[in-house]
Amino acid sequence: MYPVVILLSVALGLQVAAIGTPFGMGSATTGGGSATAQTPTTKDDLVEWLQDSTPRVIILDRMWDFSSDDGTETSTGCAPWDCSPNPQQALNVINWCSSSYPTVSVTYNVSSTSPLYVGSNKSIIGKGKNTGFQGKGLYLRDIENVIIQNIVIKEINHHYVWGGDAIQLDNTKNVWIDHNYIQHIGRQMIVTGFNPSTGLTVSNNVFNGDSIYSTGCDGYHYWVALFAGNGDEITFAQNSVYMTSGRGPHIGGTSGYTQAVHIYVSPITGHALDPYAGASVLAEGNYFINVVTPLIADGGSVYAPLTSSDGSACQSALGRACQPNTLLGSGSLSALSTAGISSKFKGVTPMSASDAYTYVAKNAGTGIIN
């Protein structure tokens, strides 16, 4: 029989390293690697460890609440949406508020508008189901090799557009964002740009749009994911996109490659995929339930097969057929531009849409792996 202390060490050891292996575009990501795991006990340590240049495995054992750290501020914002009840309002960041929008007084948490910076070679890993960050998001800029796994990010001025993002990336390489839970965010749950994010895999996350405040006054969050980096290379896989109305995700505007694969999308009152000019997008094996508009054709090159015959067009580039998408109670999906197929998308093992639905419902989010 092993001594209790050894058994305890082994049990704890299972919770100090990232679980699983990154795939797709982010397959080369190792994060903090073999660095000794550390659990911060003060905000000062947490902030320093996140942003310094030392390779680290950072274990989060609690919900770190930054909401009230810098107090509140009241300023003049605007009300772009005049619906009822509970429309989102907006902070006048970068003079975003049009002169045609009514002005309103907005009071917001100052801390939530300035994210936590993350340096290179970090693994940020939560223990349990409800550890992570409240009132602040993460900002990855000019860095490489970061894993963010099993954490919650929530309550970032969700009354206000421009109130803060959950995860921002700009000029990054090799990042794996996996098994996280994001809800009640003012603006984007995840955003890239304008410099490229390459080697990025966003997998097994729950993007929960169930919100008090929304642009349509229906409780469905609009601002889910904005992939706007010039030259992004992204795998967006095995995620749950729930109760949203747009940008699920918005892709492109310049150039880049995104594989949207094995996503469980339901219900959506507006649109899901939104590929813009310059984007090359392969959407395969996704399960759309009660999605009003699965795809907005904004000029991107998109291949989204609906039949096995459609899927065969992927054979030459990927060495396999693509998995058809499934639509139930949803609008039409018509996008068969073969320019959306690229050999860059080889790093994903195919799964049928029905298997993806079952897998994501069971495995996405926090508390599953750690």
Catalytic residue IDs = 247
> 118 with 51: CB under 8 angstroms?
yes
Cα(106)–Cα(162) distance, rounded to whole angstroms? 12
Say if residue 113 is exposed, middle or buried (CB neighbours under 10 Å; 0-12, 13-18, 19+). Answer: buried
DSSP 255: -
Tell me which amino acid residue 288 is. Answer: F
> 222 with 247: CB under 8 angstroms?
yes
Cα(344)–Cα(341) distance, rounded to whole angstroms? 8
Residues in the chain: 370
CA distance to 132, 201, 302, 346, per residue, from 24 (Å): 25, 6, 18, 7
> 114 with 129: CB under 8 angstroms?
no
